Amino acid sequence: MPRPDPEAVAAAVFAALAEPTRRSILGALATHGPSTATDLAALLPISRQAITKHLELLADAGLVLAEPGERRRIRYRVNAAPMTIAQTYLAALARDWDSKLAGLQRALAGRAAQSPDLARQPADLPATERDAGP
């Protein structure tokens, strides 16, 4: 299998989280720690067979790791690495420079209003309007 790129890893995380059953399985593993399909069936309103199927899909995608063991006793745990790759994706989307820069604009305008000698333009006009002139 070719080495996956970060985008494929992030896509696998988001695909897993888009499905309610897989979301609840990952949530249960995050809350309760490593668990077998039987443990998860006791926690969730889902059959053990369905849980096993989803755990295999999640393991294929690298989102959970199966600890070695006899088939029915296999414990699964969340693999954090793909999550942190998906988090960088979310961090880029969540980085809110627009409101930070609007804050900078307001702070500078406020300071200029307090010290009129520094205000070469009317401070209450948006920058785009000031720059639209000749």
Structure tokens at 44: 């969730």
121: closest CA among 106, 105, 109? 109
Q: Which positions from 9 to 48 touch other proteins by CB under 8 A, shown as an x/- string?
A: xx--------------------------------------
Q: Can you tell me which of 23, 38, 60, 72 binds other proteins, judged by CB under 8 A?
A: 60
Residues 73-102 within binding reach of other proteins (CB under 8 A): 79-82, 84-85, 87-95, 97-98, 100-101
* Cα–Cα dist 54/123, whole Å: 59
For residue 57, the SS3 value is helix
* Cα–Cα dist 121/90, whole Å: 38
Q: Can you tell me which of 15, 30, 107, 113 binds other proteins, judged by CB under 8 A?
A: 107
Least distance from other proteins to the Cβ atom of residue 72, Å: 19
Count, residues in the chain: 134
Identity of the amino acid at 89 = Y
Least distance from other proteins to the Cβ atom of residue 76, Å: 11
Closer residue to other proteins, CB minimum distance, 43 or 87 = 87
Closer residue to other proteins, CB minimum distance, 43 or 109 = 109
* Cα–Cα dist 3/45, whole Å: 36
- Please work out, in degrees rounded to the nearest 5, the angle formed at the alpha carbon of residue 90 by the alpha carbons of 30 and 1: 75
Q: Which residues bind other proteins (CB under 8 A)?
A: 1, 3-4, 6-7, 9-10, 59-60, 62, 65-66, 79-82, 84-85, 87-95, 97-98, 100-101, 103-109, 111-112, 118-121, 123, 125, 127-128, 130-131
